[in-house]
Amino acid sequence: MAELLDDAAITARLKDLPNWTRDGEEIRRRVKAPSFMAGIELVTEVARAAEQADHHPDIDIRWRTLTFALSTHSAGGLTSRDFDLAARIDAIASRHDA
């Protein structure tokens, strides 16, 4: 099982992910897609990446604004799995001009 990261490790990993902010035991990022349907397509790609990683974000969809939140439920906080998936979400978002 993935190990919980301490505050220093979380701060270090967030330096490589400027779009993400920490909110307690999770990290979150907002993405503005060019349109509602582009946002849904982006979410579908994130869903595929999440299935592949067997790690799943909380996703909030409001018209074309998406919010992704990551936390490792089984560990009760942040692990490397969250930061690895965050980087994949960033790559997908940039391919979607978001």
80-95 vs 36-53: helix crossing angle, rounded to 10? 150
Burial-class residue 62 by CB neighbours within 10 Å (0-12, 13-18, 19+).
exposed
Residue from 14, 22, 45, 56 in contact with ligand H2B (CB under 6 A): 56
Nearer to ligand H2B, 11 or 74 (CB): 74
Indicate whether 52 belongs to the interface with ligand H2B (CB under 6 A).
no
Give the SS3 label for residue 16: coil
CA terminus-to-terminus distance, the chain: 32
Q: How far is the CB of 79 from ligand H2B (least distance, A)?
A: 9
Q: Could you say whether residue 7 binds ligand H2B (CB under 6 A)? A: no
Q: Is 48 in the site for ligand H2B (CB under 6 A)?
A: no
Residue count, binding to ligand H2B (CB under 6 A)? 7
Please count the residues of the chain: 98
Q: Please say which residue, 56 or 96, places its beta carbon nearer to ligand H2B.
A: 56
- Of the candidate spans 21-29, 36-44, 65-73, 87-95, the one that interacts with ligand H2B by CB under 6 A turns out to be 65-73
Pairwise CA distance, residues 47 & 57, whole Å: 8
